[in-house]
Structure 1
Amino acid sequence: MDMLLKRISMKIPEFCMSHWLLRIPLAIIFIQQGLSKFPVTAEDAEAFELPYLVWWFVSYGELGAGIGLLVGGLFAAKLASIQKIVPELGDMVTRFSGITICSITTGVIWISQPESLIDVILYDNLHVFLWVGGLFFALRGNRT
């Protein structure tokens, strides 16, 4: 039985580019959300009861994190010629984008003022998945 499972397991191909299945949708969501806030105005910030500076950082942070995930992934794919010069650059861009995603998503959850952590986990699935996706890239970088 053990040999049968081992043979079956060995026949399944390894898909080393599977991080793109998580990276692309996460990047699209953050780029879309960032672009939807442009032009960045004080009136929009007031609508969410946020200072203009925070709103500015959120808008550009969402856009930058989404673009950073894609650019960092290109470095992981070894398609960029600059990767030969600074091999750790792509990994650091991916990690920084991941922690930015976690920070922004934490702020969004916090502003919604949930009654408990259980309410967030049960009823705010989108933000939990965005947070976990950002945490994945913050912790793993391009070593996926």
Structure 2
Amino acid sequence: MPVLPKLPAPFATFLLRIPLAALFLQQGFDKLPFDAETAEGYGLSLLVWFFVVAGEIGAGLGLLTAGAAGIIFRGKIITEAADILTRFSGITMTCIMTGVIWLSEPDSLLDVLLYDYVHVSLYAGGLYFALRGNAKF
């Protein structure tokens, strides 16, 4: 029976990072230029709206940068910094998705799980990287 070779963990998790980061970058760049009218439409202040936009773009870039740094560099300091950046990006993603789900004012948790699966999936992806950090070779 032929055995499929396994992809090293840093490369495999990088394949998870690409679509997750692309979605966050797309959502962040779609909100540019940010203005008070759009923020008010969601019931947010301009300051909170700024942090949402910056968080989405920063989390996407951070996730890609930290993943690439974890693959390319082997130094202890750089790999630890990349791990921290991955975890921070994941925390940022989960915070943003918590806010999105919260602002939708669902009737129950079941409504969120059944009908808001896109945001739940993004939340789970962010939570994975927040808890896992960078995979080691």
TM-score w.r.t. length of structure 2: 0.91
Q: Say whether 1:109 aligns with 2:101.
A: yes
Consecutive aligned runs of 4 or more in structure 1 exceeding 4 Å deviation: none
Amino acid at match of 1:62: E
Amino acid at match of 1:33: Q
Question: Structure 1 CA distance, aligned partners of 2:79 and 2:18?
Answer: 22
- 8 A contact 2:13–2:135 mirrored in 1: no
TM-fit CA distance, 1:43: 1.1
TM-fit CA distance, 1:121: 0.4
**Mind listing any 5+ residue stretches in structure 2 that lack a counterpart?**
none
Amino acid at match of 1:94: T
Question: Structure 2 CA distance, aligned partners of 1:60 and 1:141?
Answer: 21
Larger RCO, structure (CA 8 Å, separation 6 or more): 2
Q: How many residues align?
A: 134
Task: Give the corresponding residue for 2:60.
Answer: 66
TM-fit CA distance, 1:143: 2.1
Specify whether residues 80 and 86 from structure 1 end up closer, same or farther in structure 2 by C-alpha distance, changes over 3 A only.
Answer: closer
TM-fit CA distance, 1:76: 1.5
> Larger Rg: 1 or 2?
1
Question: Structure 1 CA distance, aligned partners of 2:105 and 2:54?
Answer: 23
**Mind listing any 5+ residue stretches in structure 1 that lack a counterpart?**
1-7
How does 1:1-144 map onto structure 2 within 5 Å?
11-16=3-8, 17-77=11-71, 79-80=72-73, 83=75, 85-143=77-135
Specify whether residues 126 and 105 from structure 1 end up closer, same or farther in structure 2 by C-alpha distance, changes over 3 A only.
Answer: same
Q: CA RMSD in A?
A: 1.6
TM-fit CA distance, 1:86: 3.1
Amino acid at match of 1:117: L
Quick one: percent identity of the two aligned structures? 53
Specify whether residues 94 and 54 from structure 1 end up closer, same or farther in structure 2 by C-alpha distance, changes over 3 A only.
Answer: same
Question: Structure 2 CA distance, aligned partners of 1:115 and 1:84?
Answer: 47
Question: Structure 1 CA distance, aligned partners of 2:31 and 2:130?
Answer: 24
TM-score w.r.t. length of structure 1: 0.87
